[in-house]
């Protein structure tokens, strides 16, 4: 049973008038709506209060991520944060692609480092720290695996391993939806990067990824090639807009400076994140 059904069962009344084409609020639903909005606002305030108390009590910052981040960025950021905030500790938590807020909406994490896009309704803010070309992951026996660069047009009819529908704009981005003449062919869905690349290795389909991730996820059963005709992927530090704790600005600054140092050192030319 979904959340709406649970609420209706708890209140013993029908809140939504449903048919095959539309869903509308009943009079009871209309009466509940302003209270539900206040509850949502109160919940967000509570999440921030608990997060702030937790951070000050344990000096622990919970950092959400969705795909592994390599190239030495995380150890470098961790060391730099120790210098900027002695006694503080970063704890990294992987969040499923099914949550486009990377754990921020429900207060699972304090800040996230993930790839855009994320929901753009004002609740989240972000700062881009790196930009990378788009690559494609293929089974080694795939017909395009021998190319040094794969035009996106060659992938138009390929079956894709997609993010879950709840990933919304991020799902569309990694399908290249804005650059297609027809919708993508979806072979299967995956909620984590590990699931996605297992599906590629099994020959179920192909998947797009940031250039840096190629160094982590390629192997004997997965090869990665650059893709032509798509805009770059942006890696960003993301936080709740209402959260003004000073360490968030510090974390974003540190991630940006460490990423810029990697690019200057030449890492941005190689698949290593």
- What are the tens digits of pLDDT across the range 212-262? 888 888 889 999 999 999 999 999 999 999 998 888 999 999 999 888 766
Residue scoring higher pLDDT (173 or 215): 173
263, containing H or E segment = helix 246-264
pLDDT per residue as tens digits for the range 56-68: 545 789 999 998 8
Q: What pairs with residue 151 in β-bridges?
A: 228
Is residue 146 pLDDT above 90, yes or no? yes
Residue scoring higher pLDDT (42 or 34): 34
Query: In b/e form, how buried is each residue of 106-132, taking b as 16+ CB within 10 angstroms?
Result: ebbbbbbbbbbbbbeeeebbbeebbbb
Q: What pairs with residue 226 in β-bridges?
A: 135
Q: What pairs with residue 112 in β-bridges?
A: 64, 238
Is residue 269 pLDDT above 50, yes or no? no
pLDDT for the residue numbered 219: 86
Mean pLDDT of 122-132: 94
pLDDT for the residue numbered 272: 32
Dihedral over alpha carbons 41, 168, 199, 182 (to 10 degrees): 170
pLDDT for the residue numbered 8: 67
Cβ within 8 Å of residue 107, ≥6 positions away: 47, 48, 50, 51
**Rounded Cα distance, 148 and 133, in Å:** 14
Is residue 84 pLDDT above 70, yes or no? yes
pLDDT for the residue numbered 31: 79
Domains of the chain by start residue, with CATH? 1-56 (no CATH), 59-131+234-269 (3.40.190.10), 134-231 (3.40.190.10)
The answer to whether 132 and 272 are in contact (CB under 8 A) is: no
Is residue 29 pLDDT above 60, yes or no? yes
Is residue 49 pLDDT above 80, yes or no? no
pLDDT per residue as tens digits for the range 181-210: 999 999 999 999 999 999 999 999 999 999
**Rounded Cα distance, 151 and 196, in Å:** 21
Residue scoring higher pLDDT (269 or 6): 6
Residue scoring higher pLDDT (141 or 215): 141
Among 12-21, 153-162, 165-174, 245-254, the range scoring the smallest mean pLDDT is 12-21
Among 3-12, 109-118, 153-162, 173-182, the range scoring the smallest mean pLDDT is 3-12
């Amino acid at each position: 049973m979904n959340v709406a059904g649970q609420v209706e069962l708890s209140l013993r009344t029908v809140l939504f008038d449903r048919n095959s084409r539309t869903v509308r609020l009943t009079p009871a639903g209309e009466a509940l709506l302003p209270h539900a909005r206040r509850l949502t606002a109160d919940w967000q305030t509570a999440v921030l209060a608990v997060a702030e108390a937790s951070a000050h009590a344990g000096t622990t910052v919970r950092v959400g991520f969705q795909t592994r981040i390599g190239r030495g960025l995380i150890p470098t950021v961790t060391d730099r944060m120790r210098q900027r905030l002695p006694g503080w500790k970063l704890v990294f938590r992987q969040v499923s692609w099914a949550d486009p807020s990377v754990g921020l909406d429900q207060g699972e994490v304090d800040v996230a480092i993930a790839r855009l896009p994320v929901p753009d309704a004002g609740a989240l803010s972000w700062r881009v720290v790196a930009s990378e070309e788009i690559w494609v992951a293929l089974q080694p026996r795939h017909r395009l695996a021998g190319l040094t660069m794969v035009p996106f047009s060659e992938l138009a009819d390929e079956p894709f391993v997609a993010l879950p529908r709840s990933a919304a704009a991020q799902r569309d981005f990694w399908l290249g939806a804005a650059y297609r003449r027809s919708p993508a062919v979806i072979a299967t869905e995956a909620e984590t990067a590990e699931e996605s690349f297992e599906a590629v290795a099994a020959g179920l389909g192909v998947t797009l990824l940031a250039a840096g991730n190629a160094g982590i996820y390629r192997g004997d059963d997965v090869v990665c090639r650059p893709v032509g005709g798509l805009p770059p992927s942006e890696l960003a530090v993301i936080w709740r807009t209402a959260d003004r704790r000073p360490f968030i600005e510090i974390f974003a600054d540190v991630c940006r400076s460490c990423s810029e140092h990697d690019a200057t050192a030449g890492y941005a030319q190689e698949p290593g994140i």
